[in-house]
Structure 1
């Protein structure tokens, strides 16, 4: 896949997948963000930090897929090579972690327990998808290089130091 196509496909997938999961659905759960912001400054600060950090990680991860992997995160247009640079040196699933961060940030920001419950359900669904589809697919597609990467880089909780392998 050529880089312009990979970039366009990644932007489309960003809107369709994380945009719906971390944007549209929490927006609907909060009655279109109609609830007042939390009256607790700590919740607002923590929620804002989680949303901003999640967005930054998500955009970085999508960029890595298009530029480093020459593909998209979408299963229908996968990368040509295994993406292991940037944030992927710290955690294997930064997109899922980022999406959960954005959702949990909104739960804190709007002091809205249904969004927190939704984050739990979404997290369980993501974990199940990774274990039953994504990891076996990556193992078949990238073979030994994925197995080395998988053993060295945790899936959900980032390493403190970047993985130096390739």
Structure 2
């Protein structure tokens, strides 16, 4: 896939998938973001920072697919190469982690139990999709390269090693 096509396809998929899951659905659950912000200032601040940080990670992950992998995250236009650079050096599923963080950030921002419950449902759906579709598909497509990557990089949360000074 050419670089321009990869960038355009990734941009369209960004709007179609994470845009709906982390944007449209929470927007609807929060009465079009009409809910008042959390009465707890620390919740609103933490939620806002989480949304911003996670959005940056999500954009970075999408850019890696287009520029490093020469493809898109969409199953219909997969990457030509396994994406293992950038944030993918630390976690295998940064897009899912970022999307869930954006949803949880909105739950905090609005102190919304309905958005928090939606995040739990979305997390279960994402884990199921990764286990039943993505991991077998990547193993079939990239073989030993993916298996080595999978052994060395955690799926959902980066490994935290204690600092030794």
In the superposition, the TM-score normalised over structure 2's length comes to 0.96
Match of 1:164? none
Offset from partner CA, 1:85-108 (integer Å, 9 cap, x none): 000000000000000000000000
2:37 corresponds to: 37
* Aligned residues of 1:90 and 1:160 also touching (Cα < 8 A): no
Distance 2:158 2:49 in 1: 17
CA distance in 2, matches of 1:160, 1:111: 29
Q: Report the RMSD for the aligned CA atoms in angstroms.
A: 0.8
1:23 aligns with 2:23: yes
Q: Which runs of 5+ in 1 are unaligned?
A: 162-166
Shift of 1:159: 2.8
Aligned length: 161
Distance in 2, matches of 1:113 and 1:52, equals 21
Determine the C-alpha separation between the residues in 2 that align with 1:29 and 1:130. 25
Name 1:139's counterpart in structure 2: 139
Query: Could you give the per-residue CA deviations for residues 21-68 of structure 1, whole angstroms, max 9, x where no partner exists?
Result: 000000001110111000111101110111011100000000000000
Within a 5 Å distance, the mapping from 1:1-166 to structure 2 comes to: 1-160=1-160
Gap regions ≥5 residues in structure 2: none
